[in-house]
Homo-oligomer: A and B are copies of this chain.
């Protein structure tokens, strides 16, 4: 089970985080909000497919081969995560498509939200959304059956697009006056949508208003990580 403390403390970047060893003290735990394994895998697989498609668009629109190399490697990671998750669905004896379709319309809305109107907005959209949601699903996976939880954590913890996206965005921001302001605004506008996606992943049967309270400290920490991610780009979150 993945645990964490309210304090956060010093941790490496989300994408680079090694497996977190279980602790006996869990200050904040929302793993009783983890949905059944099939729904979890279906939604997580759908989100990784969205991440792949968004990164593929970023590759296609990239102005240089150097940018294409880093972005395509990141697209490959999202693709591996997607295929590993649908392999878990097959292992559970279900056809992956049937568990992804309930999330198709939500994913499409989310795709439109992060796409933005420029290549840099697309990059920041992916950075914000995958940074937030990859970490959210890693944490939520703590409520899955033990063995599955371990495999899912292994799948989702592979270092993703964060470093390459941050690198390209940092150099673009340094080179283009005015870009930082536009991107800061854009980054703020996406967090709300990430929260909606995350909330939609919580176990439905137990989602009266009080469980939102239970999940709130998690969202608070994920937003704090988002702020650190934006800070690292020199953007005000």
Contacts and interface: CB of A to CB of B under 8 A. Distances in A.
Q: How many copies does the complex hold?
A: 2
Interface stretch (A70-78, A132-140, A158-166): A70-78
Residue of A66, A69, A73 contacting most chain B CB atoms (<10 Å): A69
B56 A60 contact: yes
A53 B59 contact: yes
Nearest to A82: B72
A46 to B, nearest CB: 8
- Interface SS majority for chain A: helix
A83 B79 contact: no
Nearest to A78: B72
Interface of A: 49, 52-53, 56-57, 59-60, 64-66, 68-69, 72-73, 75-76, 79-80, 82-83, 86, 96-97, 100-101, 104
Given A52-B59, A69-B97, 12 more contacts: A49-B68, A52-B72, A53-B59, A53-B60, A56-B57, A56-B60, A56-B75, A65-B96, A69-B83, A72-B79, A72-B82, A73-B83
